[in-house]
């Protein structure tokens, strides 16, 4: 469960600061972003957290940029993840960084019933090819995923992969079957579908968050890729809101016990 606005002991804050000063990379998940924010180490930077924590986090720490639209935000020495199921992505991300792609794939096979589906579960309608074994291309893909396909230039992608541009183009197409532009477009559309299904984000906000110049441009690209307008897609697949009482009843909880558990974490 999640504490939406937790109290942070001063001793914890100073310990985290000391560890960071000693060279330790810091990682937070969901409401753990409150601890990072309290240290002041992420002032002026973007931070990922779960949407139910976002308002309190932004209000309490106005010097940080709260981003609920990205699953993982990597600042190299500080990594934040959005929450709940993001822990799987975060764990695999860290295994890859520390132990390499082969161990990441082995870990995914161990912890997931269907590794391929698990890797693609946040890319609705798009399964990113990640079993090709080209580590440089995997780095490029991860770089694209972190940005939901937004604002990606070939030069920046080549730098992320550690390859020359022409080499990246050749190896990326060989590994994924797509050009980098096509890949970025697929990631953006998949993310748009996820946001539309979530139901709480306006089309204008979705268009802005994914780098489209306006709603009309977003709608045109979305319709071409998916076959229907964003509004029609949301009407068909959008999730309706559910109250704590409904959720509790659905899973056999007593309403008051459920609400108490939700708030105690």
Per-residue pLDDT of 159-175, as tens digits, reads: 989 999 999 999 999 99
Structure tokens at 34: 């409150």
- Average pLDDT value over all residues in the chain: 80
Per CATH, which fold does 1-84 belong to? Rossmann fold (3.40.50)
Long-range contacts of 195-198 (CB under 8 A, 24+ apart): 195/69, 196/230, 196/233, 196/234, 196/237, 196/238, 197/124, 197/234, 197/237, 197/238, 197/239, 198/238, 198/239
Check residue 112 and give its pLDDT.
58
Check residue 52 and give its pLDDT.
75
DSSP assignment, residue 201?
Answer: S
Average pLDDT value for residue range 1-17: 76
Check residue 47 and give its pLDDT.
92
Check residue 59 and give its pLDDT.
92
Q: Is 0.75 surpassed by the pTM of this model?
A: no
Listed by start position, the domains of the chain span 1-84, 89-122, 124-237
Give the separation between CA 182 and CA 169, rounded to whole angstroms: 12
Which ranges of 147-202 does DSSP label H, i.e. alpha helix?
154-161, 165-176, 180-198
Give the separation between CA 10 and CA 18, rounded to whole angstroms: 12
Check residue 129 and give its pLDDT.
80
DSSP assignment, residue 25?
Answer: P
DSSP structure string for 218-258 = HHHHHHHHHSS-HHHHHHHHPPPP--HHHHHHHTT--HHHH
CATH architecture of 124-237: Orthogonal Bundle (1.10)
Average pLDDT value for residue range 72-90: 78
SS3 37: helix
Check residue 166 and give its pLDDT.
95
Choice between 65 and 124, residue whose per-residue pLDDT is larger? 65
Give the separation between CA 44 and CA 54, rounded to whole angstroms: 16
* 122, pLDDT greater than 60: no
* Cα–Cα distance list, 191 to 53, 54, 195 (Å): 21, 19, 6
Give the separation between CA 57 and CA 72, rounded to whole angstroms: 17
Spatial neighbors of 30 by CB under 8 A, at least 6 apart, are 2, 49, 50, 53, 81, 82, 83, 84, 86
Categorize the per-residue pLDDT at 115 as very low, low, confident or very high, splitting at 50, 70 and 90. Answer: very low
* 104, pLDDT greater than 90: no
Check residue 241 and give its pLDDT.
47
Categorize the per-residue pLDDT at 260 as very low, low, confident or very high, splitting at 50, 70 and 90. Answer: very low
Choice between 66 and 252, residue whose per-residue pLDDT is larger? 66
How would you classify the pairing of strands 65-67 and 72-74? Answer: unpaired
* 10, pLDDT greater than 90: no
Taking only the tens place, the pLDDT of each residue in 198-235 is 777 899 999 998 989 899 999 999 999 988 999 998 88
């Amino acid at each position: 469960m999640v504490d939406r606005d937790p109290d942070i002991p001063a001793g914890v804050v100073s310990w985290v600061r000391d560890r960071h000063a000693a060279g330790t990379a810091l990682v937070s998940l969901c409401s753990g972003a409150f601890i990072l924010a309290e240290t002041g180490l992420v002032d002026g930077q973007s931070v990922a957290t779960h949407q139910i924590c976002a308002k309190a986090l932004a209000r309490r720490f106005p010097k940080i940029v709260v981003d609920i639209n990205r699953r993982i935000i990597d600042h190299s020495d500080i990594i934040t993840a959005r929450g709940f199921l993001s822990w799987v992505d975060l764990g695999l991300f860290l295994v890859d960084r520390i132990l390499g792609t082969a161990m990441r794939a082995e870990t995914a096979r161990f912890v997931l019933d269907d590794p391929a589906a698990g890797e693609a579960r946040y890319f609705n309608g798009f399964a990113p090819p990640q079993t090709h074994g080209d580590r440089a291309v995997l780095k490029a893909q991860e770089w694209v995923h972190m940005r939901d396909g937004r604002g990606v230039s070939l030069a920046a992608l080549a730098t992320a992969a550690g390859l020359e541009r022409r080499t990246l183009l050749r190896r990326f197409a060989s590994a994924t079957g797509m050009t980098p532009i096509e890949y970025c477009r697929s990631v953006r559309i998949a993310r748009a579908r996820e946001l539309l299904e979530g139901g709480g984000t306006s089309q204008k906000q979705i268009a802005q968050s994914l780098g489209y110049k306006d709603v009309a441009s977003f709608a045109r690209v979305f319709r071409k890729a998916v076959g229907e307008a964003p509004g029609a897609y949301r009407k068909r697949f959008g999730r309706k809101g559910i109250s704590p009482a409904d959720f509790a009843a659905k899973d056999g909880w007593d309403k008051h016990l459920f609400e108490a558990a939700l708030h105690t974490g």
